[in-house]
Amino acid sequence: MGYGVGAILLVVGLILALAVHVSVSGVDLTQVGWILAAVGAVVLILTAVTLNTGGRARTVARRRHADGTETVEERRTDTL
């Protein structure tokens, strides 16, 4: 979804929760606003986490030597 959708949900939710004082039969707009704001915040957090971890690759190579020792080599690369 991305940062844009998360920000829009957050802004619309906060506007409904804090600034709109209209009654609609059967719908609590304040509660709907808080739900939209929470969903927008979750989308923003998930977008930030997935974009920060998606471009990295990790390779581990283990080598056993004739004398019984083992060497571990780890490489991290950015694929972006």
> Half-sphere exposure of residue 51, counting CA atoms within 13 Å on the CB side?
9
Give Rg (Cα) of the chain: 24
- pLDDT band at residue 54 under the 50/70/90 scheme: low
Strand-pair category, 70-78 with 56-64:
antiparallel
Q: Convert the pLDDT of each residue in 8-38 to its tens digit.
A: 999 999 999 999 988 889 999 999 999 999 9
pTM of the model: 0.65
